[in-house]
Amino acid sequence: MLSLLSAYDQYYGPLRILRYISLRTLMAAGTAALIGFVIGPWLIAHLRRLKFGHDYDDDRTGELASRFDKKNTPTMGGLLIFASVFFSSVLWAAPNVWVAVALFVYAGLTAVGFRDDYLKVVRKNRNGISSGAKIFWQTLITAAALAALLAHPISSEKIRELWVPFVKHPLVASMPIAALAILVYLWIVGFSNAINLTDGLDGLAIGCTITVALTYGIMAYTAGNAKIADYLLISFVPGTGELTVVCGALVGAGLAFLWYNSHPAELFMGDTGSLALGGLLGIIAFMVQQPLTLVIVGGVFVWEAASVVIQVGYFKYTRRRGGEGKRFFLMAPIHHHFQKLGWPETKVVLRFWVLSLIFALAGLGTLKIR
């Protein structure tokens, strides 16, 4: 919104600096962090007063969680991240279809996650929102976002291109709408669930999210700059540079939330945060023409989700062969496997952060290797 003031630089010269995405990204990150630090103590106190916290004595991971005294720690901390990202993005990003769709998906999935957390912690409904209802709302949000992108002249053609890492031309120049819808849905839902599974240790999910957001901020900037995109032989997508500002806001908000979520956590993000963050990163990956690269950059999230699939699949396979059912890992998601091996929680988190940084650097490498 403030970028619009650059049109009046003839009246006040310094306003022209608001044209620069780099400056507005830094300002968005700083603003988001400031909002997070300001509202954090109030939100934690308010959630504690309302007793909006999980009872870990009743949780499936209670055996491990009880070792770290996490019972009744307030959840719904995703509200802090949402408020910081949304208001900072609106303030500093130039409005266009890419930013509008990203924030729409983020807001919609935050509402779904909030409803899920509300049912769990207030209504004491262990399962939260039903699977059918969750799928319905995720499908509706995906369909609305895709419809907006296909209807807008700036995005209608670009969103149908499918780019893959290491290839300097689109693999598919114009995907069928049905195939596009399925892929976008799988990315939004898949990474929503992956971050949700990763959110099991203090600081783990948000630390890895910060790394992915920083990486996709760079990718958004390159995709939105004609000269850089031409040099790197990647798709030039006019207007997506503004998503750099959104990613910057997410980095700032993530750092503020990490302040309260670091061990021992004072606040958990809950489904309010994890479902929405996965969806936001998923839709941004598609809009900057780097969807498959998210599998590399978000390697920790993929690893966490894959460990659950392997665990369940192996258990069913061994039971079907006449046994009682064996587990491939000591516990899934895989961060709990390492806890079972005796690793302290902080060591697991720090090492997963290191892996996340390695995956991010590998993902950035795909921009050049084509």
* CA angle (333, 327, 273) in 5-degree steps: 15
At residue 251 the predicted structure's pLDDT band, cuts being 50, 70 and 90, is: very high
Residue 346, CA distances (Å) to 205, 336, 350 in order: 13, 12, 6
Count, residues in the chain = 370
Average pLDDT over residues 77-99: 95
Q: How far apart are CA 30 and CA 20, in angstroms?
A: 16
Whether residue 136 lies inside any domain: the answer is yes
At residue 65 the predicted structure's pLDDT band, cuts being 50, 70 and 90, is: very low
Give the DSSP letter of residue 73.
-
With beta carbons less than 8 A apart as the criterion, state whether 225 and 243 touch.
no
Q: Residue 74: beta bridge partners?
A: 53
Q: List pLDDT tens digits, range 271-316.
A: 999 999 999 999 999 999 999 999 999 999 999 999 999 999 988 8
Q: How far apart are CA 56 and CA 226, in angstroms?
A: 51
Q: Give the pLDDT score at 333.
A: 93
Mapped onto helix, strand or coil, the DSSP state of residue 116 is helix
CB burial of 245-276 (b: ≥16 within 10 Å; e: otherwise) equals bbbbbbbbbbbbbbbbbeeebbbbbbbbbbbb
Whether residue 317 lies inside any domain: the answer is no
Q: What percent of the chain has pLDDT over 90?
A: 70
Q: How far apart are CA 8 and CA 12, in angstroms?
A: 7
Where is pLDDT greater, at 255 or 120?
255
Whether residue 361 lies inside any domain: the answer is no
Average pLDDT over residues 54-78: 60
Average pLDDT over residues 128-149: 91
Distance of CA 65 to the CA centre of its chain: 24
Residue that is written with structure tokens 């806890």 in the block: 339
Whether residue 142 lies inside any domain: the answer is yes
Q: How far apart are CA 22 and CA 221, in angstroms?
A: 9
Whether residue 5 lies inside any domain: the answer is no
Phi, psi dihedral angles at 3 (to 5 degrees): -65, -25
At residue 6 the predicted structure's pLDDT band, cuts being 50, 70 and 90, is: low
From 155, 140, 32, 23, select the one nearest 100 (Cα to Cα). Answer: 155
* pLDDT at residue 86 is higher than 50: yes
Average pLDDT over residues 238-253: 96
Q: Give the pLDDT score at 8.
A: 61
Q: Give the pLDDT score at 68.
A: 46
Q: What percent of the chain has pLDDT over 70?
A: 92
From 60, 288, 32, select the one nearest 159 (Cα to Cα). Answer: 288
With beta carbons less than 8 A apart as the criterion, state whether 35 and 253 touch.
yes
Q: Which domain holds residue 288?
A: 21-296
Whether residue 34 lies inside any domain: the answer is yes
Q: How far apart are CA 213 and CA 44, in angstroms?
A: 25
Which segment of 161-175, 260-274, 315-329 scores lowest on mean pLDDT? 315-329
Whether residue 262 lies inside any domain: the answer is yes
* pLDDT at residue 59 is higher than 50: no
pTM given for the model: 0.92
Average pLDDT over residues 239-264: 95
Whether residue 68 lies inside any domain: the answer is yes
Q: How far apart are CA 301 and CA 191, in angstroms?
A: 7
Q: List pLDDT tens digits, range 193-213.
A: 999 999 989 999 999 999 999
* pLDDT at residue 7 is higher than 70: no
Amino acid at 196: N
As for how many domains the chain has, the answer is 1
